[in-house]
Amino acid sequence: MNIILWAVLPYASILTFALGIAWRYRYDRYGWTTRSSQLYESATLRWGSPMFHFGLLLVLGGHATGLLIPKVWTEAVGISNHTYHLMAVFLGTVSGICTVAGLAVLLCRRWLVRPVLKATTTNDHMMYAVLAATLALGLLATVRANTIGDGYDYRETVSPWLRSIFLLRPDIDLMATVPTNLQAHVLTAFALLAVWPFTRLVHAFSAPVGYLTRPYVVYRNRDGLGPARR
Amino acid sequence: MRVMAQLAMVMNLDKCIGCHTCSVTCKQAWTNRSGVEYAWFNNVETRPGQGYPRTYQDQQRWQGGWVRSARGRLRPRAGGRLKRLLSIFANPKLPTLRDYYEPWTYDYEHLLSSPPAQQTPVAQPISQMTGRPTAITWSANWDDSLAGGNEVASGDPILARVSASVRLEYENAFMFFLPRICEHCLNPSCAASCPSGAIYKRVEDGIVLIDQNRCRGWRMCVTGCPYKKIYFNHRTGKAEKCTFCFPRVEIGQPTVCAETCVGRLRYIGLMLYDADAVAQAAATEHDTDLYAAQRSVFLDPHDPSVIAAARRAGIAEDWIDAAQRSPAWDLIVRYEVALPLHPEYRTMPMVWYIPPLSPVVEALRDTGHDGEKLGNLFGAVEALRIPVRYLAELFTAGDPAPVEAVLRRLAAMRAYQRRINLGDPPDESIAEAVGMSGEQMQAMYRLLAIAKYEQRYVIPAAHTQTAHTLEGRATGCSLDSEGGPGMGGRINLLTWNGNDRPEGLFPPRKEPV
Ligand code: SF4
Ligand code: SF4
User: What CA–CA distance (Å, rounded) separates A174 from A182?
Assistant: 13
In this prediction the pTM is 0.90
Tally A–B CB contacts below 8 A. Answer: 155
Dist CA B102 CA B112 (whole Å): 26
Output the pLDDT for position B309: 97
Cα B128–Cα B131–Cα B135 angle in degrees, nearest 5: 75
Q: Is the pLDDT of residue A218 over 60?
A: yes
Chain B nearest CA to A211, separation (Å): 5
List, as one string, the DSSP characters of B329-363.
HIIIIIS---EES-GGG-S---EEEE--SHHHHHH
Cα–Cα distances (Å) from B230 to A40, B87, B191, B268, B323, in that order, read 16, 19, 11, 21, 28
Q: Could you give the CA distance from residue B285 to residue B275 in angstroms, rounded to a whole number?
A: 19
Give the count of domains, chain A: 1
The SS3 assignment for A135 reads: helix
Question: Domain map of chain B by residue range?
Answer: 1-100+141-354+453-486, 357-451
Q: Is residue A159 part of a domain?
A: yes
* Contacts for B14 with CB less than 8 Å, ≥ 6 apart: B265, B354, B356, B357, B358, B410
CB contact under 8 A, A40 and B97: yes
Q: Name residues 251-280 of chain B within 8 A of A (Cβ).
A: 275
Length of chain A: 230
Q: What is the pLDDT of residue A211?
A: 93
Mean pLDDT of chain A: 89
A171 inside domain: yes
CB of B315 closer than 8 Å to CB of B462: no
Contact B15, B264 (CB under 8 A): yes
Its domain, for residue A160, covers: 2-213
Q: What is the CATH number of domain B1-100+141-354+453-486?
A: 3.30.70.20
For chain A, the 3-state helix, strand and coil shares in percent, each to the nearest 5, are 75, 0, 25
Residue B507 pLDDT greater than 80, yes or no? no
Residue B458 burial (10 A CB sphere; 0-12, 13-18, 19+) = buried
Q: How far is the CA of B134 from the centre of ligand 1 (A)?
A: 32
Q: Which of A19, A27, A30 to mutate to test the interface with B (most CBs of B within 10 A)?
A: A30
pLDDT at B174: 83
Q: Measure the CA–CA gap between B93 and B62, rounded to whole angstroms.
A: 6
At residue A66, the pLDDT reads 87
pLDDT confidence of residue B470: 45
Task: Please tell me the predicted confidence (pLDDT) of residue B380.
Answer: 84
Stretch B415-419: mean pLDDT, rounded? 93
A4 vs B363: which has the higher pLDDT: A4
Q: What is the pLDDT of residues B202-230, one digit of tens each?
A: 999 999 999 999 999 999 999 999 999 99
A182 Cβ contact partners less than 8 Å away, ≥ 6 residues apart: A137, A141, A145, A152, A154, A158
Distance CA B381, CA B404 (A): 7
User: Which amino acid is present at A158?
Assistant: V
Q: Do B357-451 and B1-100+141-354+453-486 have the same topology in CATH? A: no
Assigned domain for A101 exists: yes
Q: What is the mean pLDDT of residues A107-132?
A: 95
> What is the B490 CA–ligand 1 centroid distance (Å)?
24
pLDDT of A191 strictly over 70:
yes
> How close does chain A come to B95, measured CA to CA in Å?
7
The C-alpha atoms of residue B224 and residue B222 are separated, in whole angstroms, by 6
Give the count of beta carbons closer than 10 Å to the beta carbon of residue B317.
11
Q: What is the pLDDT of residues B355-395, one digit of tens each?
A: 999 888 887 877 778 777 888 888 888 777 778 899 999 99
**Would you say the CB of residue B354 lies under 6 angstroms from ligand 1?**
no
Helix (H) or strand (E) run with residue B231 in it: strand B230-233
pLDDT computed for residue B286 by the predictor: 96
State how far the Cα of B220 lies from the Cα of B196, in Å rounded to an integer. Answer: 10
CATH of the domain at A94: 1.20.950.20
Contact A9, A190 (CB under 8 A): yes
Looking at residue B167, its pLDDT comes to 57
Q: Say what the pLDDT of residue B319 is.
A: 97
pLDDT band at B476 (very low <50, low <70, confident <90, very high): very low
- Which homologous superfamily is B357-451 in? nitrate reductase domain like (1.10.3650.10)
Q: Domain for residue A222, yes or no?
A: no
User: Which residues of chain A are within 8 Å of residue B235 when distances are taken between CB atoms?
Assistant: 119
Phi and psi, residue B169, nearest 5°: -65, 155
DSSP B101: -
Residue A223 included in any domain: no
Residue-level pLDDT at A84? 84
